[in-house]
Copies of this chain bind each other. A is one copy, B any other.
């Protein structure tokens, strides 16, 4: 009835418990004959290892944690987590590690404390990195390995930490260059929260790309990645005395909301106004006009993050596959700058 244990295998094979453990783990000190015999009996008995027992014995949890810190449903209500998790799992499951989820209010150090206190995980992923984020320091102090989903840390990361090296800047820069090439001169930005790293880095990239192109920096409205805030920001921009001819949104959700709002005011996209997004969520390709946006491979991020974290946990080095670079997907929400503006300059 109940699952066979290593003890059952031992008595069945006529050897000791320790010998079975050695054989199953491929350690030396067991002759080839006995090893084969042990493996065979284990097979026929249908033995499978008990992570519970192993975890207690080796003082490891054989699991890693992902803390989701999103207030209500704001902040990327998009498909980031499902896709990211999917990437994590493909790596973790083949390495015998489980993925533990915890939902915490932001700034919830207690959530991380509890994870390490209870010893349920061997490491964690840190998402939604903030600009002055205390969590890496906290985790370092707690001694819990961590992979931060964000750009490479400026300061030297601790020995048990790593940054994934995702960099949104090239994608945003490509979007800006695309707009510049279309002749736009007033290119605005609707940013994410500036206390979030990916909110700030996208804004910096927009600003820098404009400078590189020799364009003056257009207006920037800070929003919070939610559709509602995107619509509000679009309204603010349209109400400007000299509204922009192009808007770079920090994510698709806001871009969609902005697109809808513009259209409802009789502003034609892309004839009067060009719009770009970021993320390339599924719906973006099916809007009218289809959204020009930056495509990111979040599943690949997940795979890389999991690979790296397991390296940290096991204390080995190694090379992590490069992250695929974000690429601009040009659809029909961007077009040449409206004529009056073009001649204006």
Contacts and interface: CB of A to CB of B under 8 A. Distances in A.
Interface of A: 3, 48-53, 55-56, 61, 63, 66, 68, 70, 73-74, 77-79, 81-83, 85-86, 89-90, 93, 98-103, 117-120, 226-228, 230-231, 253, 256-257, 260-261, 263-264, 281-283, 285-289
A285 B85 CA distance: 28
B73 A101 contact: no
Contacts of A48: 117-118
A118 B51 contact: yes
A102 B94 CA distance: 12
Nearest to A228: B286
A319 to B, nearest CB: 25
A289 B55 CA distance: 55
A245 to B, nearest CB: 20
A100 B287 CA distance: 36
B79 A286 contact: no
B286 A230 contact: yes
A190 to B, nearest CB: 13
A42 to B, nearest CB: 14
Given A56-B52, A101-B89, A286 B231 contact: yes
Contacts of A289: 264
A99 B102 CA distance: 7
A276 B137 CA distance: 48
A197 to B, nearest CB: 20
A119 B82 contact: no
A71 B117 CA distance: 36
Contacts of A53: 56
Contacts of A81: 81-82
A67 to B, nearest CB: 10
A101 B49 CA distance: 20
Given A70-B86, A73-B79, A101-B101, 7 more contacts: A55-B55, A68-B82, A73-B82, A85-B101, A89-B101, A227-B282, A231-B286
A56 B62 CA distance: 14
Contacts of A101: 66, 85, 89, 99-101
Contacts of A49: 118
30 contacts: A3-B117, A50-B118, A52-B52, A52-B56, A52-B120, A53-B56, A55-B56, A56-B56, A63-B100, A66-B101, A68-B82, A68-B86, A77-B282, A78-B79, A85-B103, A89-B103, A90-B103, A93-B102, A98-B102, A226-B282, A227-B282, A227-B285, A227-B286, A228-B285, A230-B286, A253-B283, A257-B286, A260-B287, A261-B288, A263-B288
